[in-house]
Structure 1
């Protein structure tokens, strides 16, 4: 059994379909099927129930999957940490979702570079779910996202819960009638959500905020990214619920209003590989908490180790 067998098996298990798994792995389907058969022969057990749609794992397959994911993640951690130890000039690769750039992330990056000049820092914009995969594969070392996704091989640190606010066209009647808005006030508006894909995303947090309160907006407009959503708001196409850090993005054609529910929040989550306790990652985390304290910004306390 080789590492490629684990990668192939995990892809098939997660996609529940040989065709999609082959596309994900960038190989043809027949070789993939043969590799899975070889793996089953080597183990002496059947890992998939072949006659089900979507494809389902057997009990043995589910057991093997949970351990294969951990083993592959540990391999990526070992490779990444060994490369870092072996380099005179260390490197740290960060993944981030676009909306985090309007908060403290730029200041965090500048401060880290100033204080850790020996570390080569690289940045990659990617969705939270893409960050999880990139962490497992060793392509990034830290991810900054907003989605609470459980994965046994990923360590999640919720740094802070960012309040949601409403972006409205300048002069909108709602901005003139009330000092603070509720979600119920927005039901008659077109609610512009982002990003349209990939999902789950911040868009699902906004939709869940309505659904959890038994509310249903009359109209939903999905768009690709935050900047487009704000442009549509400015054009009078609707309103958008955005993280409060976006308030710092000055526009003379959009106004922002607070929401009356303190539970309407979107988390800022830092993700790393579960076993990666490198000096550079610890330095990054300590710097983040120090900056939050300097800025007197509300945040969740660091976990005790």
Structure 2
């Protein structure tokens, strides 16, 4: 499989039209069709349902298209960053982050760091904690801000903050009559767990809180993102646990309550390579330390 196969399939998968895809790629349609056939033969699966009108992707094809889009976008980023560095215009500093930290100190930390780091291009990448681990070891990022403790001798995990979790409930939910809610009470409700994948993730961290109190969730609805989970709460589908900083996301249809049990928190963890002694990372540590002092 070559890079051109990914680009060809991305064009076909997005347009669902071989003629249009060939025009976009500036090649003739017959060779494009042959290349896609070769790709399917190599993968051993059918990616496109050619009997459908219009063309349709198979389940495998839909999955493969999403992976192609991500891989090609990452390759474009690498090419652009490499060109900038090769031209000597900028140093770069890569930061991976999980979306839930955007509601707390992280945006201000980035603003301050960028302002103080003239000549350094700060590149932000949204990724799960597990993805951060892989990206750090591959050198794609320099530091990650996640919520899972990584057990890897090549990485250092430093807890910046242990953030309390709060319960998100829909308007007029019966549990709103309580000022605080126990995990035991929440375990009897339909619970919205996120992210559904990849695992391990924040979802496993939440499940562990229930298990440590001898509890198992009864009815579970899975969501892939926190915003989706909160939307499902607003729709009355269930309840969920979110970091307390998420309360800054003002919604008229969701109400938050603190958890009655002690220690129901989610850590915010800074991950970095064990042997990284770069000055840009050291400067980043300084801003994190300042936040810890003022918190």
Structure 2: gaps spanning 5 or more residues: 1-41, 44-83
After TM superposition, what 4+ stretches of structure 1 lie above 6 angstroms from structure 2? none
- The equivalences for 1:35-74 within 5 A come to none
Whole-angstrom CA distance in 1 between matches of 2:190 and 2:289 = 38
Whole-angstrom CA distance in 2 between matches of 1:113 and 1:170 = 40
Cα RMSD over matched residues?
A: 1.9
Deviation at 1:263, TM superposition (A): 0.9
Whole-angstrom CA distance in 1 between matches of 2:142 and 2:189 = 41
Deviation at 1:251, TM superposition (A): 0.4
- The equivalences for 1:161-240 within 5 A come to 161-176=162-177, 178-240=178-240
Match of 1:149 in 2: 150
Whole-angstrom CA distance in 2 between matches of 1:148 and 1:272 = 12
Question: Would you say the 8 A contact 2:143–2:271 is kept in 1?
Answer: yes
Q: TM-score, normalised by structure 2?
A: 0.69
Deviation at 1:88, TM superposition (A): 6.2
Match of 1:113 in 2: 114
Whole-angstrom CA distance in 1 between matches of 2:88 and 2:161 = 33
Whole-angstrom CA distance in 2 between matches of 1:133 and 1:218 = 34
Q: TM-score, normalised by structure 1?
A: 0.67
Match of 1:271 in 2: 271
Deviation at 1:291, TM superposition (A): 2.8
Deviation at 1:226, TM superposition (A): 0.3
Question: Would you say the 8 A contact 1:169–1:255 is kept in 2?
Answer: yes
Deviation at 1:87, TM superposition (A): 5.2
Match of 1:302 in 2: none
Structure 1: gaps spanning 5 or more residues: 1-27, 30-82, 298-305
Deviation at 1:174, TM superposition (A): 0.8
Deviation at 1:170, TM superposition (A): 1.4
Q: Deviations over 1:167-211 (max 9, x none)?
A: 0001211112x1111101112211101111110000001111111
Deviation at 1:155, TM superposition (A): 1.2
